[in-house]
Amino acid sequence: MLIRQDNGFHHPVASDITPPQVYAQRRGFLQQLATTGLLATAGGAWGQSAVPRPGKLAALNSTVANFAGAQATDNITPYKNASTYNNFYEFGTDKADPAENAHTLKTRPWSVDIEGMVKKPGVLNLEDLLKLSPMEERIYRLRCVEGWSMVIPWVGYSLSELIKKVEPLGSAKFVEFVTLADPKTMPYVGSRVLSWPYIEGLRMDEAMHPLTLLTFGMYGEVLPNQNGAPVRVTVPWKYGFKSGKSIVKIRFTDKQPLTAWNKAAANEYGFYSNVNPNVDHPRWSQATERRIGEGGLFAKKIKTLMFNGYEPQVGQLYAGMDLAKNF
């Protein structure tokens, strides 16, 4: 069932931010997440419109996780914007390309390999992952390095629930996430823009932080392909590219992973990639941002918050670190 989380984080629930009549239309969540029903709806909706809706998750209780991090002044980004303005280079480099091209991705059957320094390596299929822990809705900001941001209601549970299940060894210091790289269903895999497969990683304490979400849905629905179906990670205090999509492998290691963008341009994309308005990208400032769906290029710039506004929750993870050097 959908559960309320407190854990010392006090933020408004989605119904306090979105008009009630709109919010009510988006509540269709998972009572027990009947996986066969969830996956069946996911397959049938694609290709029917320019902005396909992949189907509601199975119904669940209406309590919302009080955990989210959105502020009372944050408006939830319209679904159309969140599902058509994406970075997913396996489907193209233009922001509109993933929504146009990702219908080719096959999300069933799906499994995730658990590898490396764990007591319980193995393969978990999607149904295993869906049943692992009760689902929550969390309204998180998403801040991308190019200067745009969104506010999205994600559905999932803390990645720590999976990590505890597989029992990492004490020598495991990092978690690596590997995205599917299938040239048959992902037309830009093989292009020279990045090294494939797409790899991201977190330090173990970052991965174990309760805000780090193993994500299966958004807006009360199954994840659209272009948003990382069927399972992704959402790390709200880091730039968006740190949140690996369409994950097929999770590897535990004692070495810092060589991530896709860090490998492509280490001077521009550091391993940590925490949202930091005081450290500019070499080609643009990170001090301000524009919200997608609120006026486009003419939208008013707003001040970017340290750690994307999650400093009270995650700031201690980086105590004593030089955040300009460890960018």
Distance in angstroms (rounded) separating the CA atoms of residues 193 and 309: 31
Q: What is the pTM of this model?
A: 0.83
- pLDDT 10s per residue in the chain (327 long)? 443 343 333 333 333 333 333 333 334 333 333 332 333 333 322 222 335 556 655 433 223 333 444 454 588 999 999 999 999 999 999 999 999 999 999 999 999 999 999 999 999 999 999 999 999 999 999 999 999 999 999 999 999 999 999 999 999 999 999 999 999 999 999 999 999 999 999 999 999 999 999 999 999 999 999 999 999 999 999 999 999 999 999 999 999 999 999 999 999 999 999 999 999 999 999 999 999 998 877 788 999 999 999 999 999 999 999 999 999
The CATH number assigned to the domain with range 14-268 reads 3.90.420.10
Distance in angstroms (rounded) separating the CA atoms of residues 197 and 101: 18
Distance in angstroms (rounded) separating the CA atoms of residues 248 and 182: 11
Distance in angstroms (rounded) separating the CA atoms of residues 321 and 307: 14
Q: Map residue 119 onto helix, strand or coil.
A: coil
Q: Give the residue carrying structure tokens 């969830």.
A: 38
* Element housing 40 (H / E): helix 35-44
Question: Residue 78 burial (CB < 10 Å; 0-12/13-18/19+)?
Answer: middle
Residue 314: name the closest of 171, 172, 166, 210 by CA.
Answer: 210
Contacts of the segment 157-161: beta carbons below 8 A, 24+ positions apart: 157/132, 157/133, 157/213, 157/214, 158/133, 158/210, 158/211, 158/212, 158/213, 158/214, 159/207, 159/208, 159/212, 159/213, 159/214, 159/233, 160/207, 160/208, 160/209, 160/210, 160/212, 161/132, 161/133, 161/214
- Alpha-carbon distance values, 189 to 21, 78, 113, 197 (Å): 41, 29, 20, 8
**Domain boundaries in the chain?**
14-268
